[in-house]
């Protein structure tokens, strides 16, 4: 487990002020994002029936938490990893019109997540999905959407400052867009995370385009499951990928800090191709995948925005355990306390 090497840290806000500030961040950001993207808030599941293909595989190797359902003949259910595919299903079920979308509070358990000051077993995020027209499957539409999300983050930062003057805004006015291929060309000798650190520190806030596909060095910048984001379609820029990550520079941690993973979702053609190149063609028989391949699900764009991540960043915290309750090893709790970090 990665640990913090801080000898002296003092939170800008006490525990009670922190709890109130968390509520302020969540309420402000949600309201702003809904307005910017034309989203309606809906309810969502904590667990779903296994074997439908609706639960997300994230990087493709994470194991879900599973349990039998007594009153359904021990049928297996799994706690969600995220709701990327479930949301698209809901767009169809709710008959959401083009240009409108949905957002929900997603609560998940990811037992294979590596512990670190920015990761825990418990994941809370705003999961959103928007119905788009086929003509919106462009890099320009993706950038426009990212900019609207960034505007909501900037607005929330100002609202926090209005309430807590000790938390000074520092995000740049605009977010910078860069493709992962360009990043590799600029920093060919660095690892993906080191590249992110360099570009985030330089610009303050970046959207890194093209996550999942192999770059010219034969390796992807990062992994993505083949059945939600479109990371293989060649765009009008001549580069592949209609997805990406919102990454900011975190001066408290002195590192790049991911806020959101998002993108235009696969259409039938992209899904078929990405299942082929990842050796996942067996998924074509699952309910979600069959329905999409048959053209029965709407075109969409969507993503997840970390709630605790955003609170941690905007409230200048050094550990995610300062903004959410979690399960931490005793040695981590003790080490954090010695550094002035008190975990919930």
How many other CB atoms are there within 10 angstroms of residue 328's CB atom? 20
Catalytic residue among 261, 300, 308, 324: 261
- Gyration radius of the chain's alpha carbons: 20
Catalytic residue among 127, 181, 230, 245: 245
Query: Does residue 334 carry a catalytic annotation?
Result: no
Query: Does residue 56 carry a catalytic annotation?
Result: yes
Is residue 9 left, alpha or beta, with left meaning phi > 0 and alpha meaning psi from -120 to 50?
beta
Q: Tell me the backbone φ, ψ of residue 88, rounded to 5 degrees.
A: -65, -35
Catalytic residue among 44, 57, 88, 110: 110
Catalytic residue among 32, 44, 90, 125: 125
Query: Does residue 181 carry a catalytic annotation?
Result: no
Query: Does residue 110 carry a catalytic annotation?
Result: yes
User: Cα 237–304–249 angle (5° rounding)?
Assistant: 70
- Cβ-in-10-Å burial (0-12, 13-18, 19+) of 133 comes to exposed
Catalytic residue among 32, 34, 56, 229: 56
Query: Does residue 43 carry a catalytic annotation?
Result: no
| Contact status, residue 175 vs residue 183, Cβ threshold 8 Å | no
Question: How far apart, in whole angstroms, are the C-alpha atoms of residue 119 and residue 166?
Answer: 26
How many other CB atoms are there within 10 angstroms of residue 199's CB atom? 21
| Contact status, residue 313 vs residue 257, Cβ threshold 8 Å | yes
Query: Does residue 283 carry a catalytic annotation?
Result: no
How many other CB atoms are there within 10 angstroms of residue 157's CB atom? 21
Catalytic residue among 124, 227, 229, 258: 258
Largest CA distance in the chain: 58
Q: How many residues does the chain have?
A: 344
| Contact status, residue 324 vs residue 117, Cβ threshold 8 Å | no
Q: Which residues are designated catalytic? A: 56, 110, 125, 245, 258, 261
């Amino acid at each position: 487990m990665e640990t913090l090497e801080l000898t002296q840290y003092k939170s800008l806000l006490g525990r009670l002020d922190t709890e109130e500030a968390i509520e302020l961040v969540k309420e402000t950001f949600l309201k702003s994002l809904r307005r910017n993207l034309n989203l309606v808030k809906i309810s969502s599941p904590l667990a779903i029936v296994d074997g439908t293909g609706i639960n997300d595989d994230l990087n493709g190797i994470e194991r879900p938490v599973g349990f039998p359902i007594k009153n359904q003949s021990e049928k297996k259910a799994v706690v969600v990893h995220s709701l990327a595919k479930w949301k698209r299903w809901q767009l169809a079920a709710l008959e959401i019109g083009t240009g409108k979308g949905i957002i929900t509070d997603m609560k998940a358990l990811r037992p294979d997540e590596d512990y670190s000051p920015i990761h825990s077993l418990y994941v809370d995020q705003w999961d959103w999905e928007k119905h788009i027209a086929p003509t919106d499957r462009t890099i320009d539409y993706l950038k426009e959407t990212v900019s609207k999300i960034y505007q909501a983050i900037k607005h929330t930062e100002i609202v926090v400052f209005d309430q807590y003057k000790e938390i000074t805004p520092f995000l740049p006015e605009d977010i910078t867009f860069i493709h992962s291929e360009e990043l590799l060309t600029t920093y060919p000798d660095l690892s993906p995370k080191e590249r992110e650190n360099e570009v985030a520190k330089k610009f303050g806030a970046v959207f890194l385009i093209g996550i999942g596909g192999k770059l010219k060095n034969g390796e992807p910048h990062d992994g993505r499951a083949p059945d939600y984001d479109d990371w293989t379609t060649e765009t009008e820029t001549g580069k592949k990928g209609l997805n990406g990550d919102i990454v900011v520079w975190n001066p408290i941690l002195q590192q790049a800090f991911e806020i959101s993973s998002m993108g235009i979702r696969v259409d039938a053609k992209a899904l078929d191709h990405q299942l082929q190149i990842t050796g996942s063609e067996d998924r074509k028989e699952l309910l979600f995948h069959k329905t999409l391949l048959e053209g029965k699900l709407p075109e969409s764009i969507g993503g997840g925005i970390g709630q605790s991540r955003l609170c941690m960043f905007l409230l200048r915290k050094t550990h995610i355990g300062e903004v959410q309750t979690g399960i931490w090893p005793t040695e981590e709790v003790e080490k954090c306390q010695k550094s002035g970090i008190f975990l919930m």
